[in-house]
Amino acid sequence: MSERFSMITRFLLFSSGATLELIKKCPRFEVNKHASIGLTIVFTAILSVLSSYFAFKLIFSSDYLAVSLALLWGSIIFNLDRFIVSSMRVNDSKIKGFMKSIPRLFIAILIAMVISKPLEIQLFKSEIATFLSQEKITLSDNIRQKYSANFQRIEKKKEVLRSNFQEKLLLRDKYYEEYKCECTGTCGTKIKGYGKECRSRKERYELFLLELDQERQKRDVIMKQFNIEKKSIQELIAKEEAILLANSYGLFDQIRALNQIDKFSSFFIFFIFIMIETAPIFTKLLSEKGPYDNLVLEYEIQFEASYLKQLDTHKHERLRNRKLIEMSMNVELKSKESEMRNRIKEEAVARYDKLRQALDNKNFKA
């Protein structure tokens, strides 16, 4: 079968990792199967773009940067899914195929986890905002609770100081009553007039007034110190609360809040993404070996056979070249040996002729 595919079909086949030259030779149902796998991968990439956009929007304020990074992340997920599906081979044994696909399933689950979280945050946006606002209120109460012991200590000291001063006021009133009733003759010596006892009680009362005035001044100074200390603690609380309110919650804070709000819904959405992400893999695992798989296997066998043949040819070529080199080296070595023997022979003959000529000259002179 050979036909021309539309641009959409070609793109879906490309997304599924199928080779266009091979899929053209397959029946239409095989083309539809791989196009469906490619469509699932495209949908997963689109969801990853949306999810990463929400995630990057929480990190960066620029829409242009968030969209650019989201498209980049979507392209990475698309390419990774395409690689996972295209690298799988349909085997005769389902168990063997499943065991080989476990690492790919693990990667698919990780991808589903990364994709699902930002979308979950967007779906539970209002609930997360409420939870984080309540958390800030709780943290603010904790700050006040942390310094409540200091306020209680200051108030307790102020109460003791007021109680002591109130006792002195009562003692002042008592001295005043004793002084007046002694001078009017209604108590004490019961002698009316400005006598010795009357003067004594009057002096005691007036001395106590002076002492009481000093106590009042001392009390006011201590009270002022207590108020200053209390005000400094209140300023410290206000500063910590301002820092708490100024801190904005990021992506991981919202993920933490999401896990505490509703784990069931979060897991439900997560499982949906796992189903979407692993759908192409399970389609490959559960489907029987089709025409496209047979063509792929055939081309792989042909390629391997051609490769082994070329490898064998290169191996024989290397062996032949090696033998030729060895033969050439042997011939050259023998040639050098023959040349060396001839040179030695010529030198010996020359020495012999020279020695013989010397002997002939000696006999001639004799």
Q: What is the pTM of this model?
A: 0.51
CB 252 within 8 A of CB 212: no
At residue 347, the pLDDT reads 75
Closest CA to 23 of 15, 31, 32: 31
CA distance to 112, 163, 222, 226, per residue, from 218 (Å): 72, 14, 6, 12
At residue 208, the pLDDT reads 83
The boundaries of the domain holding residue 23 are 7-124+262-289
User: Splitting the chain (366 residues) into consecutive groups of 10 residues, what average pLDDT does each group show?
Assistant: 74 86 83 86 84 78 86 87 77 66 76 74 76 77 79 84 86 82 76 76 83 86 86 82 68 70 72 76 72 76 78 74 74 73 74 71 61
Give the 3-state secondary structure of 34-48.
HHHHHHHHHHHHHHH
At residue 3, the pLDDT reads 58
- Cα 238 → chain centroid: 34
Query: Do 120 and 134 lie in a common domain?
Result: no
- 105 found inside a domain: yes
Of 221, 249, 277, which marks where a domain is finished? Answer: 249
- 334 found inside a domain: yes
- 87 found inside a domain: yes
- 46 found inside a domain: yes
CA distance to 113, 353, 357, per residue, from 363 (Å): 117, 15, 10
Query: Do 94 and 49 lie in a common domain?
Result: yes
- 99 found inside a domain: yes
Query: Do 311 and 365 lie in a common domain?
Result: yes
Provide the number of structural domains found in the chain.
3
Query: Do 110 and 138 lie in a common domain?
Result: no
Query: Do 304 and 346 lie in a common domain?
Result: yes
How many residues are there in the chain?
366
Query: Do 46 and 117 lie in a common domain?
Result: yes
Query: Do 93 and 112 lie in a common domain?
Result: yes
Query: Do 84 and 62 lie in a common domain?
Result: yes
At residue 355, the pLDDT reads 73
Query: Do 119 and 133 lie in a common domain?
Result: no
